[in-house]
Structures are given as structure tokens and as C-alpha cells.
């Protein structure tokens, strides 16, 4: 596994697609902070291989404090095809989260109507439609429990701003470290316990189904999550 920097890793690469593991605290694109972005790392990596200009195309984003799989297109054509597939829900997007609460059911579907507050960079989930609200749907299943936390696996059906974070907060389940959405304190070192674990999607050129995953960062709760998850023998596909 090749490193783009100390924490950004190449997970998969061919002539059309580059997949990398994003650590917490790095934006996929530039934001107001003007810090170096994941796209910057990816572009530098491709330029170093070509020794000149290299194309890097944005396909999707994950939240800056979260970690996990991010893919880029390496040509304008592949980027356009990936973007079209992402918009049409042709991607299977699996997340892991560590929560301070637990949904009532072990497995189920959450449906809300989310509205973005751009001024505060925050979204709110409502139980009913309304002006400026967009339907948000996710599926979930409980992976396991620790003494204080719940381990949840999530299949994202729609892709709204901060969707997982605001939907879970709506049912009084807060992601560890996510003070913006109600968790009482930050995690040492920053970030939140939300991880984009896997992406499944058709290759933009061949149509072959790709499944790319990244293990979460090493930490006590994530290590326990992985142990419980991989020990399950009865995991069923979504």
C-alpha cells in the first residue's frame, strides 16, 4: 500500500480510478482553512508519476472530521461516468460509526427530511417534508456493543450534507467526538468516529464491479469494532 503522505494511503489504482484512504482532519477539497486537501495530495502523487501535469477529478466527498475511502477519476471521461453513477445511486456506500446511544431496533431504515444551514455548516433532520428539506434515507444494523458505546454499520441510500450525523442525532444517537451534533466532548487528536468503510461501484470503463475498503484508524474502540465485526459469521449482504 503506497503512502501519499504519512496518513494518506493509495488503496486502488488503474488507468481510470484512484482510490485513497482519507484520515480525519483533511478536507477532500480546499475549504476556508486553506489547508492542503486530499485532492492536493492525489494530484501531487499523479504528477510525480507522470513528471508533468496530471488530471484529477472529484467524484464525491466525505466530511472533513471523518475518515475512509475516497475515489477520484484520472480522466475527464471516467470522472463524468463516476459522477453519473454516484448521482444515480449506483454506488454502495458503507460507513461505520461509534455512537453514545443505540437505535431501538437492531436493524432498520431511517427516513428524514434534512435541511442545510449553510451559514453554520450544519444540517437538521426533520420527520416530515418542508421548505428546503431533502429526503434522506439510510439503512443501519448494530454490529455490537462496548460498555458505553454502540457499533453501527450504515448503508447510505441518499447523499445529503452531514446526513449520517444529523439523522443519528435526531434519534438521540451521537457519533463519538462529534460536538457539532451533540456529543459532549472532542476526541483527543480531533476527528469523529465516523468512517467510510467501503465503496462498491461499477468500473467507469469496464463495468466490472469494484469493492474498495479501508480499515479505520487504530484506536481502542475502532480495534474492538473491527474485532467484533470480523468475528461475525452470519453477516448478510445488504
> Does some domain include residue 54?
yes
What dihedral do alpha carbons 65, 137, 126, 162 form, nearest 10°?
A: 10
* Contacting residues for 98 by C-beta, under 8 A, at least 6 apart: 149, 150, 151, 152, 175, 176, 193, 221, 222, 225
Is residue 58 pLDDT above 90, yes or no?
A: yes
| Tens-place pLDDT, residues 137-176 | 999 999 999 889 999 999 999 999 999 999 999 999 999 9
**Domain contains 237:** no
Instruction: For residue 21, count other CB atoms closer than 10 A to its CB.
Output: 25
Kindly report the pTM of this predicted structure: 0.93
How many domains, in total, are found in the chain?
1
How far is the C-alpha of 35 from the C-alpha of 26, rounded, in Å?
Answer: 8
3-state class (DSSP) for residue 43: helix
The domain that holds 112 is classified in CATH as 3.30.2350.10
Beta strands 194-202 and 67-73, pairing class: parallel
Give exposure, 177-198, as e/b (b: 16+ Cβ within 10 Å).
bbebbbbeeebeeebbbbbbbb
pLDDT at 48: 83
Is 150 domain-assigned? yes
Residue 203 lies in a domain: yes
Q: Name the DSSP class of 179.
A: G
121 within some domain: yes
Residue 4 lies in a domain: no
pLDDT of residue 231: 86
For residue 9, what is its C-alpha cell? 494511503
**Domain contains 21:** yes
Grid coordinates given for 222: 475502532
Q: Which residue shows C-alpha cell 501531487?
A: 44
In a domain, 81, yes or no: yes
Enclosing domain of residue 67: 9-231
Q: What is the pLDDT of residues 75-98, one digit of tens each?
A: 999 999 999 888 777 899 999 999
Amino acid at each position: 500500500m503506497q503512502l501519499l503522505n504519512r496518513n494518506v494511503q493509495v488503496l486502488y489504482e488503474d488507468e481510470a480510478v484512484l482510490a485513497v484512504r482519507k484520515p480525519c482532519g483533511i478536507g477532500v477539497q480546499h475549504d476556508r482553512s486553506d489547508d492542503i486537501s486530499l485532492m492536493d495530495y492525489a494530484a501531487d502523487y499523479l504528477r510525480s508519476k507522470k513528471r508533468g501535469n496530471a488530471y484529477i477529478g472529484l467524484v464525491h466527498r466525505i466530511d472533513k472530521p471523518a475518515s475512509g475511502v475516497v475515489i477520484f477519476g484520472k480522466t475527464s471521461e471516467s470522472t463524468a461516468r463516476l459522477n453519473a453513477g454516484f448521482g444515480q445511486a449506483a454506488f454502495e456506500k458503507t460507513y461505520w460509526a461509534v455512537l453514545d446511544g443505540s437505535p431501538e431496533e437492531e436493524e432498520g431504515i431511517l427516513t428524514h427530511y434534512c435541511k442545510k444551514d449553510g451559514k453554520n455548516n450544519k444540517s437538521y433532520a426533520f420527520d416530515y417534508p418542508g421548505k428546503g428539506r431533502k429526503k434522506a434515507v439510510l439503512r443501519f444494523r448494530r454490529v455490537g456493543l462496548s460498555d458505553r458505546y454502540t457499533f453501527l454499520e450504515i448503508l447510505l441510500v441518499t447523499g445529503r450534507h452531514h446526513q449520517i450525523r444529523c439523522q443519528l442525532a435526531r434519534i438521540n444517537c451521537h457519533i463519538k467526538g462529534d460536538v457539532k451534533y451533540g456529543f459532549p466532548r472532542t476526541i483527543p487528536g480531533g476527528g469523529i468516529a465516523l468512517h467510510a468503510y467501503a465503496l462498491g461501484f461499477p468500473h467507469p470503463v469496464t463495468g466490472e464491479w469494484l469493492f474498495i475498503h479501508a480499515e479505520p484508524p487504530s484506536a481502542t474502540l475502532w480495534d474492538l469494532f473491527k474485532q467484533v465485526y470480523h468475528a461475525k459469521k452470519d453477516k448478510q449482504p445488504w
